[in-house]
Amino acid sequence: MTLTLGYTNRSGRRREIHGVAVPVIAMSAVLAYSGLLGNLVSYSAHEDLIVHAYELSKADEQEAAYALRTAGQTDAVTLLDSRFPSVYLNDDTSLLASGKILSAEIGEASKRSRVYLMEKGSEYSLVLLENGASGFVRNTALTGSLEMIFDDADMTKWMAVDGIDLWSSPLADGELIASPAFNDEIHVIGTNDQTYWKVTYGDLTGYIDHTKLMDEMYVEPEPEPEPEPEPEPEPAPAADSQQASAASTLPEPSSAETNVVTGYPAWDGTVLNKSLGVVYGPSGKETYYNLNMNGVIALMQAAGYYAEYWVRSDGVKMYGDYVMAACGFQVRPRGTIVETSLGTAICADTGTFSYTDPYQIDIAVDW
C-alpha cells in the first residue's frame, strides 16, 4: 500500500498525482510516512514522479494533504509531520528485519544519520531513515542529540584561559564537575563538530569547550638580559697634597737598571719623538702610544702607587716624576722602574706587543 503526499485532482477511486509517493508502514494502527517524518522535504510540483491508484479513508486523505499549499502558490512544497521523534545513530549500524538477536541484516545506516523512531522496544526499536529505508536497531545505537556523538581521539591539549568549566554532559542539563586552570593539561578522547569535546582531566571524565584549548603548553619566555651599563669614565686624580706626598711611595730605580744609564737627560743616544716611531734606547726597543690614561691611573692607585698625573712640555705623560710606559709584565711587572731615552719611566701599563717582544717599552705621550 502507498500513501502520496500531494495531488492535483481526483476521479472516483483513481487519484492522479504530481508529487512524492512513499511506502506506508502499518504499525500500531498509525501510518508512517517514509522519508518525511519529522523532517523537511521539498519537491517540485511540476515534475511528474509517480501515478498511483489506491483507496484512502477521508481521515487519511486529510492527514496526507494538511501541509499542501494551494495549487499555484509555489513550485516547492514543504511537508512536515512531527508525530514521530527524530533521533541519531551514534555509530555505523546494521538495519535488522526484526527486533530479535538473530534477525537478518537488511541494510546499513551510517553514523550521525538522522532517523525517525517509529516504535520503541525494550532492546530494539524500529526506525525509518530519511531515504525511506526502515529496520530495527539496538536502542544503544540511538541518541537524541548530535552533541552526544563523538569520534575517538587521543590528543593532549592545555587550557588556554581560566574559568572554563568541565561538565558531566555536553548538553545544558550537565553538572559542573571541575574548573581547570590556565595551562592545565587536558586529554581529549572524543571529538565532533560541536562545541563540547569529551576529555579526561586527572581522574575525571567530562566535556569541555574545545575552543578554549591550546595545542602547546604555555612556557614563560626567558627574560631578556638587561643591557650592561656603560662604564663611567674614571676622573683624573686630583693633584692634592695627600697624593703629592704619597708620591714618595713610588719605588726607587733598581740597581740593575740604574747600572745601564743614569737617566734622561744623561742619555746621549737617539731620543724617541713623533717623527721617529721606533728607537732603541738604554733598555731596548721603544715605541709610543696615545690613549686615555684614566684606567691606567686607577689600576696604579689600586696597586698602591699614588702620584700626580701630568703631561710634560714635550708631550710625555708623567706619573709623579716618572715617565708612564707600557711594559711586558712577564719581565717587568707593574711598578717596575726602567730607563728610557725620554727619562726614567715606571711600568704602569701593558699591551699585546709584549706577546712578541716582552722587553719592548711603549711610552705614553699626547702626540
Q: What is the pLDDT of residue 35?
A: 36
Give residues with Cβ within 8 angstroms of 302, minimum separation 6.
Answer: none
Q: What is the pLDDT of residue 136?
A: 95
Q: Are 344 and 323 in contact (CB under 8 A)?
A: yes
Phi, psi of 89 (to 5 degrees): -90, 130
Q: In Å, how far are 43, 223, 344, 351 from 316, measured between CA atoms?
A: 110, 49, 12, 18
For cell 502499518, name the residue.
Answer: 26
Q: In the 3-class helix/strand/coil scheme, how is the chain assigned residue by residue? A: CEEECCCCEEECCEEECCCCEEEEEEECCEEEECCCECCCEEEECCCCCCCCECCCCHHHHHHHHCCCCCCCCCCEEEECECCCCEEEECCCEEEECCCCCCCCEEEEECCCCEEEEEEECCCEEEEEECCCCEEEEEHHHEECCHHHCCEEEEEEEEECCCCCCEECCCCCCCCEEECCCCCCEEEEEEECCCCEEEEEECCEEEEEEHHHEECCCCCCCCCCCCCCCCCCCCCCCCCCHHHHHHHHHCCCCCHHHHCCCCCCCCCCCCCCCCCCCCEEECCEEEEEECCCCHHHHHHHHHCCCCCCEEECCCCEEEECCEEEEECCCCCCCCCCEEEECCEEEEEEECCHHHHCCCCCEEEEECC
Q: In Å, how far are 78, 172, 180, 232, 354 from 196, measured between CA atoms?
A: 33, 11, 15, 62, 76
Q: Are 22 and 6 in contact (CB under 8 A)?
A: no
Task: Using alpha carbons only, give the angle 101, 104, 105 rounded to the nearest 5 degrees.
Answer: 105
The grid cell for 146 is 548530535
Q: What is the pLDDT of residue 111?
A: 96
Q: Are 41 and 2 in contact (CB under 8 A)?
A: no
Pairing label, strands 284-289, 361-364: parallel
> Model-level pTM greater than 0.75?
no
- Reading the chain (367 residues) residue by residue, the pLDDT tens digits are 334 444 333 444 433 333 334 433 333 223 333 333 333 333 333 333 332 323 334 444 444 444 343 333 333 233 334 567 889 999 999 999 999 888 999 999 999 999 888 889 999 999 888 787 889 999 999 999 999 999 999 999 999 888 899 999 999 889 999 999 999 999 999 999 999 999 999 999 999 999 999 998 888 777 777 777 777 777 665 544 444 444 444 544 433 333 333 345 578 888 999 888 899 999 999 999 999 999 899 999 989 999 999 999 999 999 999 999 999 999 999 999 999 999 999 999 998 888 889 999 999 999 8
Q: What is the pLDDT of residue 27?
A: 32
For cell 737617566, name the residue.
Answer: 263
Q: What is the pLDDT of residue 76?
A: 29
Q: What is the pLDDT of residue 188?
A: 97
Q: What is the pLDDT of residue 221?
A: 75
